[in-house]
Amino acid sequence: MRLIILIIVLLGIDQWTKELVAGSMSEGDTIGILNDFFHITYVKNHGVAFGMFQGEIKTISIVAIIAILGIIYFMIKQLKPHEVISKYAYAFILAGAIGNMIDRIYRGFVIDFADFRGIWKFVFNMADVWINIGVFLLVLEVIILEKRKKQIKKRN
C-alpha cells in the first residue's frame, strides 16, 4: 500500500509541475533562476530521453506501455518481501514512466521544463527525475548486495 501511495504522490507532483508550466508559459519561454545556472524552460518533447526518436509517439507509447506492464508484473510476481530497495526503485521508475505516458496520451507530447544550463543542454521533467532516482536505487542495491557477498566470503 505504501508503494501505491508513493506512486500516486510522485505522479501528482509530476503532473502538477507540468500543468503549472503549461498553464503559465508558452512553448520556448524561459525563466532564469539562480544566475543563469537553472532555468524553467517550456519544451514540448515529441520523443524520449535526450530528444531521441522525435515524432515517433505511437512507437514510444507502445514500448512505454509494455515497459509499464512489465514493471508492474515484475513488482507483483518477482520481488521478494525483503527486497525493499528494489520495490522503491521500481515504484519511482513506474511513476516516471506513467507520468510521461500520461503526457503522451493526454497532450501528444511530454512537457519538459527543468533546464540546468550550467551542467548540460538537456531539458527534463519530474518524471525523468523519478526514473533516474529509481535507477540510482537499483545501482545502490547492487553495490550493497556485492558488499554483503564479499563480507560473507571473508567470514567463510
Residue positions annotated with a catalytic role: 112, 128
Residues 6+ apart with CB under 8 A from 74: 90
Phi then psi dihedrals of residue 84, to 5 deg: -65, -45
List the alpha helices (DSSP H) in the chain.
2-24, 57-77, 84-106, 126-155
CA-CA-CA-CA torsion for 123, 126, 131, 132, nearest 10 degrees? 60
How buried is residue 31: exposed, middle or buried, by Cβ count under 10 Å (0-12/13-18/19+)? middle
Q: Are the C-beta atoms of 49 and 128 separated by less than 8 Å?
A: yes
Q: Are the C-beta atoms of 28 and 102 separated by less than 8 Å?
A: no
